[in-house]
Homo-oligomer: A and B are copies of this chain.
Amino acid sequence: MINGPETSSPALLPMGFVDLLPAEAEAEARGLAEVMEVFSCHGYERVRPPLLEFEGSLLSGAGEALADQSFRLLDPASHRMMALRPDMTTQIARIAAVRMQDCPRPLRLSYAGDCVVIGTPGREGQRQIAQAGIELIGPDKAEADAEVIALGAEALARLGIANVSFDLSMPVMVWSLIDGSFSGIERESIIHALDRRDAAAVREYGGAWAELLLGMMEAVGPAASALEKLEKLDFPAMLKPHVARLRADVAAILARLPGARLTVDPVDFRGWRYHTGVCVTVFAMHSREELGRGGRYLAGDEPACGLTLNPQAFLRVAAKPKRRKRCLVPSVMVQKDLSSLHEAGYATIASLGLSGEMEQEAHHLRCSHIWKDGKPVALAR
């Protein structure tokens, strides 16, 4: 293992941008490949949009929410502004709506790539964010929501991450109450109160919806009990379909993933502005690290549901991949012998005859084996 710590030297790299050294880089690449393979097995076809686009297309629709987070660049060819993508969902929606408009629905697409965000000056996290995700475009059904969530779980399980929980929410419920009944300072006050889960403030600023909002706040918890509590609340007619859909989503997820750990938070609404239905955040059970997020939205004018996994997060909790044993070999060797070593799980390190004796060179180059008399021989430690 030759990797150092994952943190980068601030003198060398801008904050939030890091080098991944061999162990991490290999783990990230293998993790991405495993996850994409799971998606492929379920008929999700990979698309690869570019790293940057005109800001007009990249930061419109669902992308508008991330406009403040996007680096802009002038295109000297067109004299138009471009933006580095802060997220890939808008791009997939564009591809579905334009390039693949004639493909049958449901359209199942997968993607993997890097995104770049500006971050918050003074307290940057990662600013280059790897994403691997899926979008299921066309059907607006609980079974479609459940498929996307179930595949996220399967992808994480493939990486050795079995202990995950799914936090479900339906932010459109809170937003439609707020948008329909509050404005100006009252709107700010109730948003702030809900955001802090401040029951007293919700009672003070919630107006006609205070009781309902407090009831929704109290419902937070495991899916079964949360749904039971929501059942008893007096929702206005416009919200009833959302409550019913949340119930149907939970049932559909449990049908595909018996025993899945589902929690429901009916007042989780911040950071979900363009979503039109169920939203999900995937957490590692023990670390509570966020492994991915997704939800239902409109891709152009088509219903869609997507989920994005964050490889930077999930590789911290996933099982590290096995590395090849290293065998020092002569620099010129017949291909058949090399191939059989590779098939047997060895990496072959060609001796360039630099440090005298081969055994010494093998130790120097962290090799565990040496090619001798036509076979790999383990070195004494």
List residues 210-259 of chain A with CB under 8 A from any CB of chain B. Answer: 255-256
Bits for A33-74, please: 1 = Cβ < 8 Å to B, else 0.
100100011110111111111100100000000000001010
With both beta carbons as reference points, the residue of chain B lying nearest to A22 in the complex is identified as: B45
Judge whether A200 is part of the interface by a CB distance below 8 angstroms. Answer: no
Q: Taking A29-B36, A103-B2, A147-B331 as contacts, is the C-beta distance between A350 and B42 under 8 angstroms?
A: yes
Residues of B within 8 A of A349 (CB): 42-43, 108
Q: Taking A12-B94, A73-B71, A332-B256 as contacts, is the C-beta distance between A353 and B143 under 8 angstroms?
A: yes
Judge whether A183 is part of the interface by a CB distance below 8 angstroms. Answer: no
Judge whether A199 is part of the interface by a CB distance below 8 angstroms. Answer: no
Residues of B within 8 A of A290 (CB): none
**Once the chains bind, are B9 and A352 in contact (CB under 8 Å)?**
no
**Once the chains bind, are B19 and A45 in contact (CB under 8 Å)?**
no
Residues of B within 8 A of A4 (CB): 99-100
Bits for A124-146, please: 1 = Cβ < 8 Å to B, else 0.
10001000000000110101101
Judge whether A287 is part of the interface by a CB distance below 8 angstroms. Answer: no
**Once the chains bind, are B26 and A46 in contact (CB under 8 Å)?**
yes
**Most chain-B CB neighbours within 10 Å: which of A57, A82, A143?**
A143
Bits for A1-42, please: 1 = Cβ < 8 Å to B, else 0.
010100001001111111111101110110001001000111
For this chain, the copies found in one complex come to: 2
Taking a contact as CB atoms closer than 8 A, the residue among B24, B33, B77, B103 that contacts A122 in the complex is B77
**Once the chains bind, are B100 and A21 in contact (CB under 8 Å)?**
yes
Q: CA separation between A144 and B350, bound complex, in Å?
A: 9
Taking a contact as CB atoms closer than 8 A, the residue among B40, B57, B331 that contacts A324 in the complex is B40
Bits for A107-122, please: 1 = Cβ < 8 Å to B, else 0.
0110010101011011
List residues 337-360 of chain A with CB under 8 A from any CB of chain B. Answer: 338, 342, 346-350, 352-354
Q: Taking A95-B21, A119-B77, A256-B331 as contacts, is the C-beta distance between A14 and B52 under 8 angstroms?
A: yes
With both beta carbons as reference points, the residue of chain B lying nearest to A333 in the complex is identified as: B256
Judge whether A364 is part of the interface by a CB distance below 8 angstroms. Answer: yes
Q: CA separation between A342 and B365, bound complex, in Å?
A: 39
Judge whether A192 is part of the interface by a CB distance below 8 angstroms. Answer: no
Judge whether A98 is part of the interface by a CB distance below 8 angstroms. Answer: yes
Judge whether A106 is part of the interface by a CB distance below 8 angstroms. Answer: yes
Q: CA separation between A352 and B119, bound complex, in Å?
A: 39
Taking a contact as CB atoms closer than 8 A, the residue among B103, B116, B118, B347 that contacts A40 in the complex is B347
Beyond A19-B48, A29-B112, A114-B114, 9 extra complex contacts between A and B, CB < 8 Å: A13-B53, A15-B77, A17-B51, A19-B47, A19-B99, A42-B350, A51-B51, A52-B128, A84-B84
- 24 A-B residue pairings within 8 Å (CB atoms): A2-B100, A2-B103, A4-B99, A4-B100, A14-B77, A15-B78, A16-B77, A19-B49, A19-B99, A20-B47, A24-B48, A25-B48, A28-B48, A33-B33, A40-B324, A41-B324, A41-B338, A51-B116, A71-B73, A76-B118, A138-B354, A146-B331, A147-B331, A256-B331
